[in-house]
Amino acid sequence: MAQTHEQGHTEETEEARGLARTGEKIVRGLLALALVAFLAIVLRQTMASAIAERKTPQALWRAEQWDASNPETPVKLAHSMTAQTGGGDPKQIAAAFQQAVRLAPDRAGNWAGLGDALDVAGDETGARTAYERAIELYPKSPAINWQFANFLVRQGDISDAAGPLRRSIEGDPSLRMGAFDLAWRAGMPAGAVLRIVPPTQQDRAAYLDYLTGSKRLDPAAEVWKLLLAAPAPFSLDSAFRYFDALLAAHRVDEMEAMWAGLARHDPRKIHWQPQAAQRITNGGFDAPLLEGGFGWRTVSVAGADISLDPSIFHDAAPSLCIEFEGRHNLDFGNVVEYAAVEPDTKYDFTAFTRTDGITTDSGPRIAVYDPLDHAALWSQTPELTGTNSWQEQELQFRTGPRTRIVAVQVIRVPSQKFDNLIKGSMWLDDVSLKAIP
pLDDT in tens, the chain (437 residues): 545 555 555 555 666 566 666 666 665 655 555 444 443 333 344 443 444 444 455 455 454 444 555 667 766 776 777 776 556 788 888 888 888 888 889 999 999 999 998 998 999 999 999 999 999 999 999 999 999 999 999 999 999 999 999 999 999 999 999 999 999 999 999 999 999 999 999 999 999 999 999 999 999 999 999 999 999 999 999 999 999 999 999 999 999 999 999 999 999 889 877 667 899 999 999 999 999 999 999 999 999 999 999 999 999 999 999 999 999 999 999 999 999 999 999 999 999 999 999 999 999 999 999 999 999 999 999 999 999 999 999 999 999 999 999 999 999 999 999 889 999 999 999 999 999 98
pTM attached to this predicted model: 0.81
DSSP annotation of 301 reads B
User: What's the rounded Cα separation, in Å, for the pair 340 and 295?
Assistant: 11
End-to-end CA distance of the chain: 148
| Dihedral class, residue 250 (left if φ above 0, else alpha if ψ from -120 to 50, else beta) | left
- Residue 141 burial (C-beta neighbours within 10 Å; 0-12, 13-18, 19+): buried
Instruction: Tell me the residue type at 129.
Output: T
At residue 91, the pLDDT reads: 86
At residue 154, the pLDDT reads: 94
User: Domain residues of the chain, as ranges?
Assistant: 199-270, 297-435
**Which residues lie below 8 Å from residue 47, measured CB to CB, with a gap of 6+?**
63, 66, 67
At residue 131, the pLDDT reads: 95
> Angle at the Cα of 430 (from 429 to 433), degrees rounded to 5?
125
At residue 31, the pLDDT reads: 52
Phi and psi (nearest 5°) for 292?
175, 170
SS3 of 230, please? Answer: coil
Query: How would CATH label the architecture of 297-435?
Result: Sandwich (2.60)
User: What's the rounded Cα separation, in Å, for the pair 319 and 309?
Assistant: 5
- Residue 5 burial (C-beta neighbours within 10 Å; 0-12, 13-18, 19+): exposed
Please count the residues of the chain.
437
Closest of 262, 257, 192 to residue 234, by C-alpha: 262
User: What's the rounded Cα separation, in Å, for the pair 231 and 265?
Assistant: 7
SS3 of 352, please? Answer: strand
